[in-house]
Amino acid sequence: MDRATVERVARAAHIKLTEDELRRYSDDLNDILTYFELLDEAPECDASGVNPVEVADVLRDDEPHMDIDPDLLLRDMDTYERYIRGPRLS
Amino acid sequence: MKIGLEIHVQLPTRSKMFCSCPTTDAPAPNTHVCPTCLGMPGSRPVLNRKVLEYGIMLAKMLGCKVADVTWFSRKTYFYPDMSKSVQITQYDNPIGEGGVYYLGKKPIRITRIHVEEDPGKTKRVGDLSSLIDYNRSGIPLAEIVTEPDLSTPAEAREFLGQLIEDIRHVIDLPGDGERSIRCDCNISVGKERCEVKNVTGLKNVERALTFEVVRQTKILKAGGKIDRETRRFDEERGVTISVRKKEFEADYGYIDEPDLGIYHIKEMADSIKIKESPQKMAARISAEYGIDQKMAKQLVSASVGLAETFEAVAKESGVQNAVKWVAGPVSAGWKAMEARGGTPDEAVGIIRRFAAGEITDTECAMEIRCAMTGESAEAAAGASQDLERIVSEYLDQNPEIVSDYAKNEKAANKAIGFVMRNSGGKHSSAEVVEAVKRLIESRMRSHGVR
Amino acid sequence: MTMRDVLSGLKETNARYSMFHSMTDDVDPGDAKFLFSAKDNLTSKDMETCAGSKILIGYRPAFDAAAISKMRDAGGKLIGKCNMDEFGFGTFSYNSGLEIPRNPYDLERACGGSSGGSACAAAVFEGHVSLGVSTGGSICCPASFCGVYGIAPTYGRVSRYGLIDYGNSLDKIGIISADAGDLRRYIRVIAGKDPRDPTSCVQPELRDEGRKMRSVAVPKEGIEGLSKEVEAAFKESLESLKGMGLDVEYVEMPSLKYAMPAYYVLATSEASTNLARYVGMRYGQQEGDHSLKFDDYFSSFRSEYFGDEAKRRILLGTYTRMAGFRDRYYAKALKVRQVVIRDYKRVLADHDAVLAPTMPFTAPRFDDISKMSALDSYKADYLTVPANIAGTPHMSAPCGYDSNGMPIGMQFVADHWNEEVLFDIAERWQRSFEARRPEVKA
């Protein structure tokens, strides 16, 4: 994993890295990815699945209801006239 | 020129896609919210069954192959209105793939249809911060992706209009459905394409695409190169603006959504029968009863119920009577009948009696009028006699209208205009049109014109 | 020690061991039937929930995690939220943005991770039960290092509603206690379908029919790379098990070596998406300069408040699911998981459990941990990771002590949904194994 790739990954992940961190993480990730090369030789498998046990067809009925008072959810949020405040868009 | 669309339709469920918050209009910002749609740590999604059902209905309507097994994926991107910074959408194995949808006779290929959650809404305030309302967060959307088979902005608009009409009918989308439909428009005049994101409404889709055609053509003519990029449409100024270049596109890093599992939807899909879409119904009626496409379309777009009445009468009393009476006075009175919550059954019975020779032409017209509008027989008789008298007198004075009409139906417009101006607003335009055409045609028959 | 004693000495005890990030002020147990604690990645209405991260300081959940509310309903009183590696990212509870729990047998040593505070509380407080969470071994590892019993049930057995996610296809909530009988007692309390967590809705009933553990398979791959003392204690334990009437057979499980890389790929891929939501809005840290453009605003919070290991795992997980690398890492790891599951099923067709030491060494000193590379500490998980990626239930029982008096543990892995044999062996083992309690001071 070269420096440019680490920078690209960090940008995608929204993490700013100092020069020192960039060097350190590049080294660590290279070690780790070298170890991960083991995966290339792992046997193939026709089975697949998102979960380790099959989770299938769990659905909810289309019935509206609210269990938690939204005011309770908003109590610790930075709000303005019930809008939740966030950073500038552009 | 190649145009492809990605159409987002809000699905009319009562509760949100992954939580039970209501989807109705909220009284204030952030009132229809819960830990799940706010992305609070510890919350979890549970899928609304109805979302899969609507997705399957639309997949069928679009002629897509419905997947046997479908599942969800996480699309990661950072934006203030995306509460988890992750959108639960579909990547591998969407609900439907590989469909075709006909715009008239032209096939428009449908790449795929999948379902996903809507983000919240952001309000811009000055330069200092943004304000977010998460009431919309988690509303279910269907995304329909077409191949770049559309050739002009006007065609794209026509396609979208027709598609919306069909969608509205098939999944009972409420009347304000157009605003709840958003579109990403991909367009290439030359080789490279641009994407105009998040355009709302038919007119804006055509405007945005037209602007792009002009912009891209100018650049190409001047020997320039189109940059692959994402743009947005400024509705007020009618222009598209670059948002980001291709190389700065987010890498969404899709992974399977591990909180939901998979869905075997084959059985569900087999058990769902969708209503015939208006476009298909018009095409079928035109072919089945040998009437022209324009009339079939008019019937269907006035009301699917009217078109169904047409079919019932055609089967029972012949196509001729269906054309004469259903496309005529039944259609004229349809709105009035709907307004008072009536049914067309009585009118169908009246036409049956006419076909059996039990009542005359004039009686039939009058009785249908009563049946549709709910007026008393006397009032209807009076009104219709008044109307017929005015029409007859005008046709007596202007006999050339009858002979011209045989060559061109527009000849009736002169009579229609006169009657509208001189009947004191007592008759709807539909009624006037019906009466004028009926009386002209009856004179043509008795004069042997044809 | 009465419940009242525990409560009245809580703050002093915590000052010594740092097992809790937040704790109750109550000194009166009221009508509580028992006291319990929970890892701080389980939401609690009455206590701040931070999952070991600075970025969540100030998060007061509006809802209790399903496991916590079930423990309360059963008469439990929540006394504290347990320190842990940030979001579960570690083997020693040393990667915390908050406080680091100390091993009750030696305060200069780690409790293990990532449910370190839970294992610490279970070892220190008499008659205490703690809720832990395991993603790659985070229940069995600290149970082993702190000389207590710990069970991670089958994936999906306990509702994850209210769990602050690390890797959603891997996370399992379980029980840690010094009393083996608590495993059965409290898994019964917290197990069951919950319509708020779809992955809990496919489970069969928890069986409790008196099924016994009769035979164990020891994989050759599971007894490599052990410290001498761990190896010796394990061998001795095998003899004891034989003495108890269990068949012990050595087997080969070639898939186990692939479990580690596959686990780290899946866990970090999922974690990097779960952690994307922490951007300085809505909960936790929110004091920031809103006039920054959103990308910069988000990045500033994430860079400031995520710890070193969290950043490393976010970077790794973002990379392994990125277009162009996804097939080689993420998609391949999903397949390798199936290979590992098949390997377990093959062995467990003939045996009631797969058995190996829980950790290859005993609790390390903090100064040694700080010298380990990231990869070194990942590799330390090679014994606990396979059962975790397979979602199979597994239980660690204390089985010896090294020359420093630090506990050694062994881990039994049963087939999906077969927790019952783990309860059985834990209870029988407790009767024959002489445990040494740590010397507890407040």
**In chain B, which residue's Cα lies nearest the Cα of A88?**
B129
**Per-residue pLDDT tens over the stretch B199-244:** 998 999 999 999 999 999 999 999 999 989 999 999 999 999 998 8
List all residues 6 or more positions away from B108 whose beta carbon is below 8 Å from its beta carbon. B100, B101, B102, B146, B147, B149, B150, B159
- Calculate ∠ Cα C87-C92-C95, nearest 5°: 45
For the sheet containing B129-133, what is the strand order? A79-80, A83-86, B129-133, B121-125
Q: Out of C138, C200, C269, C272, which one is annotated catalytic?
A: C138
List of chain C residues whose C-beta atoms are within 8 Å of the C-beta of residue A6: 315
Flag if C294 and A6 touch (Cβ within 8 Å).
no
For the entire predicted model, the pTM comes to: 0.88
CA distances to B72, B160, B177, B197, C45 from B182, in Å = 21, 10, 10, 9, 39
The ranges assigned to domains in chain A are 3-41
CB contact under 8 A, C276 and B40: no
Closest CB from A14, A62, A85 relative to B49: A62
pLDDT, one tens digit per residue, over A40-72 is 999 988 888 899 999 999 999 999 999 999 999
CA angle C98/C17/C134 to nearest 5° reads 65
Asked if C138 is an active-site residue, the reply is yes
**Cβ-contact B346, B371 below 8 angstroms:** yes
Give the residue numbers spanning the domain of C34.
3-257+334-432
Element containing residue B71 per DSSP (H, E):
strand B69-71
How far is residue B133 from each of residues A58, B105, B216, C276, measured CA to CA in Å? Answer: 29, 43, 36, 19
pLDDT of B109 over the 50 cut: yes
Residue in C168, C268, C282, C376 to test binding to A, most A beta-carbons within 10 Å: C282
pLDDT at B248: 65
Beta strands (DSSP E) in B153-293 are 181-188, 194-200, 229-234, 239-245, 255-256, 262-264
Average pLDDT over residues B177-203: 86
Residue of chain B nearest C62, judged by CA positions: B35
Strand C34-39 with C129-134, pairing:
parallel
Q: Is A29–C319 a contact, with Cβ atoms under 8 angstroms apart?
A: yes
A4-8, B362-366, C83-87: lowest mean pLDDT where? B362-366
Q: Which helix (H) or strand (E) holds B284?
A: helix B278-289
- The residue annotated as part of the active site, out of C18, C114, C237, C272, is C114
Torsion sign across C-alpha atoms B311, B313, B318, B322: negative
A73 vs B258: CB contact, 8 Å cut-off? no
Q: Point out the catalytic residue in the list C39, C70, C77, C172.
A: C39
- Nearest in space to C391 (alpha carbons), one of C432, C317, C337, C349: C337
Q: Which amino acid is at B299?
A: L
Nearest to B261 among A50, A70, A79 (CB): A50
Average pLDDT over residues A24-34: 95
Residues of chain C positioned with their CB less than 8 A from the CB of B262: none
Read off the pLDDT of residues B398-410 as tens digits, 9 standing for 90 and up.
888 888 888 888 8
Q: Is C303 part of the contact surface with chain B (CB cutoff 8 Å)?
A: no
Residue by residue, DSSP assigns B370-428 as: HHHH---HHHHHHHHHHHHHHHHHHHHH-THHHHHHHH-GGGHHHHHHHHHHHTTT-S-
Residue numbers of C between 68 and 127 with CB closer than 8 Å to B: none
Contact A88 B130 (CB under 8 A): yes
B21 neighbors B33 (Cβ within 8 angstroms) = yes
CATH number of the domain that residue C83 is part of: 3.90.1300.10
Q: How confident is the model at residue B169 (pLDDT cuts 50, 70, 90)?
A: confident
Give the chains touching B; criterion: ≥3 Cβ pairs < 8 Å.
A, C
Domain A3-41 has CATH 1.10.10: no
Once rounded to an integer, what is the mean pLDDT over residues B175-191?
A: 80
Whether C257 contacts chain A with CB within 8 A: yes
Determine the distance in angstroms separating the CA of B206 from the nearest CA of chain A, rounded to an integer: 27
Number of domains composing chain C: 1
Answer for the pair B143, B6: CB distance below 8 angstroms, yes or no. Answer: yes
Best of B255, B256, B263, B264 to substitute, by most chain C Cβ atoms within 10 angstroms, is B255
- The C-alpha atoms of residue B56 and residue B52 are separated, in whole angstroms, by 6
pLDDT over 90 at B342, yes or no: no
Closest CA to C359 of C388, C374, C379: C379
In tens, the pLDDT along C208-262 reads 888 999 999 999 999 999 999 999 999 999 999 999 999 999 999 999 999 999 9
CB-nearest partner of C332 from A21, A25, A42: A42
Comparing alpha-carbon positions, the chain A residue that sits nearest to C266 is: A50
Residue-range domain boundaries for chain B = 2-271, 278-447
Interface of A with B in 1-20 (CB under 8 A): 12, 14
Would you call C39 a catalytic residue per the annotation? yes
From the candidates B18, B40, B49, which should be mutated to test the interface with A, based on the most A CB atoms within 10 A? B49
Residue B177 has pLDDT above 70, yes or no: no
Are C208 and C420 a contacting pair, CB within 8 Å?
yes
Number of Cβ atoms within 10 Å of the Cβ of C83: 32
Q: Is C269 on the interface with B (CB under 8 A)?
A: yes
CA distance linking residue A68 with residue C298, whole number of Å = 28
Single out the residue of B78, B74, B54, B75 nearest to residue B66, CA to CA.
B54
Question: Are the CB atoms for B45 and B19 separated by under 8 Å?
Answer: yes
A53 with C202: Cβ contact below 8 A: yes
pLDDT band at B449 (very low <50, low <70, confident <90, very high): low
Q: Would the CA dihedral through A65, A67, A72, A78 be positive or negative? A: negative
Cβ-Cβ contacts under 8 Å between A and B: the total is: 123
Distance, CA of B116 to CA of A25 (rounded, Å): 35
DSSP 8-state assignment for residue B178: G
- The whole-number pLDDT of residue C363 equals 98
**How much of chain B, in percent, has pLDDT values that exceed 90?**
53
Q: Write the pLDDT tens digit of every residue in B318-334.
A: 888 898 899 888 998 88
Per-residue pLDDT of chain C (442 residues; tens, 9 = 90+): 899 999 999 999 999 999 999 999 999 999 999 999 999 999 999 999 999 999 999 999 999 999 999 999 999 999 999 999 999 999 999 999 999 999 999 999 999 989 999 999 999 999 999 999 999 999 999 999 999 999 999 999 999 999 999 999 999 999 999 999 999 999 999 999 999 999 999 999 998 888 999 999 999 999 999 999 999 999 999 999 999 999 999 999 999 999 999 999 999 999 999 999 999 999 999 988 888 899 999 999 999 999 999 999 999 999 999 999 999 999 999 999 999 999 999 999 999 999 999 999 999 999 999 999 999 999 999 999 999 999 999 999 999 999 999 999 999 999 999 999 999 999 999 999 999 999 887 6
Asked whether residue B178 carries a pLDDT value surpassing 70, the answer given is no
Q: What is the mean pLDDT of residues B47-76?
A: 96
Identify the CA nearest to B279 among candidates B103, B63, B153: B103
Indicate the SS3 state at residue B82.
Answer: coil
Cα–Cα dist B201/B181, whole Å: 7
Q: How confident is the model at residue B450 (pLDDT cuts 50, 70, 90)?
A: very low
Among B44, B79, B251, whose Cβ lies nearest the Cβ of C323? Answer: B251
**C442 part of a folded domain:** no
Chain B partners within 8 Å of A59 (Cβ): 46-49, 52, 263
What gap in Å lies between CA B351 and CA B345, rounded to an integer? Answer: 10
Rg (CA), chain C: 20
- Tell me the CA distances in angstroms from C137 to B389, C112, C415, one per residue in order: 93, 10, 16
| pLDDT score recorded for residue B448 | 64
Answer yes or no: do B130 and A89 touch at CB < 8 A. yes
Residue with tokens 């690398």: C325
pLDDT bin (cut points 50, 70, 90) of residue B127 is: low
The 3-state secondary structure of chain C reads: CCHHHHHHCHHHHHHHHCCEEEECCCCCCCCCCEEEEEECCECECCECCCCCCHHHCCCCCCCCCHHHHHHHHCCEEEEEEECCCHHHCCCCCCCCCCCCCEECCEEEEECCCCCHHHHHHHHHCCCCEEEEEECCCCCHHHHHHCCCEEEECCCCCECCCCECCCCCCCCEEEEEECCCHHHHHHHHHHECCCCCCHHHCCCCCCCCCCCCCCEEEEEHHHHCCCCHHHHHHHHHHHHHHHHCCCEEEEECCCCHHHHHHHHHHHHHHHHHHHHHHCCCCCCCCCCCCCCCEHHHHHHHHHHHHCCHHHHHHHHHHHHHCCCCCCHHHHHHHHHHHHHHHHHHHHHHCCCCEEEEECCCCCCCEHHHHCCCCHHHHHHCCCCCHHHHHHCCCEEEEEEEECCCCCEEEEEEECCCCCHHHHHHHHHHHHHHCCCCCCCCCC
- Residue C185 CA to residue C125 CA, distance in Å, equals 18
Q: Which residues of A touch C299 (CB under 8 A)?
A: 14-16
Q: Residues C305, C285: contact at Cβ < 8 Å?
A: yes
Q: What is the mean pLDDT of chain B?
A: 90
